[in-house]
Structure 1
């Protein structure tokens, strides 16, 4: 059995943490880009577009993220499209993140008085002008806190990437446990690192919620 000191365990876990952070950032940026596009399309009056977006949201919110990762990794390979564990993890987490952000942002926009849309149209403003100058500046203030809060779920969701072979924090923790046979020590350190990643974001979300309180 290979001997691992406490320093060796911690060093390997911290090295793997950078991949968890990179995967979280890639998924959040990709999910935000898709969600922003879908949110803008959802504001149009096209019923077909509304139905397609609603189906997209229900599909990725209503199925486990683990199943989505399996389908992206193994399903695409069975169809002849080779994809790495890194690519499958980003793709599935992007779909997952965008489906929730669309609903978060739609709810934030819905909190704004509908009379602002009508007043803007009466002033002769186009749809894009209304979004840019009237709706988005107000909606962003309401949306920033729940968006930061949801980033915690994205970070925790990266742990599932270990099941498709992507080597991140949870995967390295499992490998170290198999090598050291010290599950309590290893997974306690893994849990502490996840807490140190997520707790500041949760705290910051509460600060932002107070700072950008929509009711004010």
Structure 2
């Protein structure tokens, strides 16, 4: 069993920041590196790190996680997710190898804000975990800053997780490879066929 609480096991390569959500071909050897706050060569060039005094993501897991808010048995393995709070990062625990045959979305804590449109630009905190090995491959919680991006510039599974939710919600998604990276993403350690799991906090949408 691999417990992915904080992204200390992540091998953050040149495309690490927001690699999991953008549609960019980070595997290209011609991809330039950027600053430490945004190293993803996003397809949507408007991808930025959120700014402002309240634009932070908690970096530490909860002292006592408690019972998971979502437990999902997969076609193989299983995953258990506890969403983030104002002071703690999410906890994603994988019994590997975990895989699903269809993308599944779960609202962990419903927000009270407006409903997020499929074409909205959002600010979120997120953690991405590979179901094959339970490793965190990307996390804005590690960076301590949300990421801002348009939903039409992210992988389909990430869009499915956020669109239709209310601002303020925490959600989790277990996505099939076709909704993530069907051809893999070598720099993030993602292989073709890998199921990806995300824990997401929706901070704002416009």
Name the TM-score, length of structure 1 as normaliser: 0.23
* Structure number with higher helix proportion: 1
Larger Rg: 1
Structure with the bigger percentage of strand: 2
